[in-house]
Amino acid sequence: MDKSSELLSIGSADCLIALPPTKTGFKAGTLVDIVPLRGGMAP
């Protein structure tokens, strides 16, 4: 993913997901912390 597509994705996001570093990944259903975003650029 290049920088411009990252910005487009963030611009239309409702929240950010905060994930700690891991070598094994996360199992489906794992609870995660989010950072809600207000006033996203999505129409």
Residues 19-38 have pLDDT tens digits of 888 888 889 999 999 888 87
> What residues pair up with 15 in beta bridges, in sequence order?
36
Give mean pLDDT, residues 3-29: 80
Residue 34 is inside which H or E element, if any?
strand 33-36
Torsion of CA 11, 18, 25, 12, to 10 degrees: -10
What predicted TM-score, i.e. pTM, was given to this entire model? 0.51
Smallest Cα–Cα separation from 20: which of 9, 30, 28? 30
Higher pLDDT, 3 or 1: 3
Q: Residue 30 corresponds to which tokens in the numbers above?
A: 């794992």
Tokens in use for 17?
């997901």
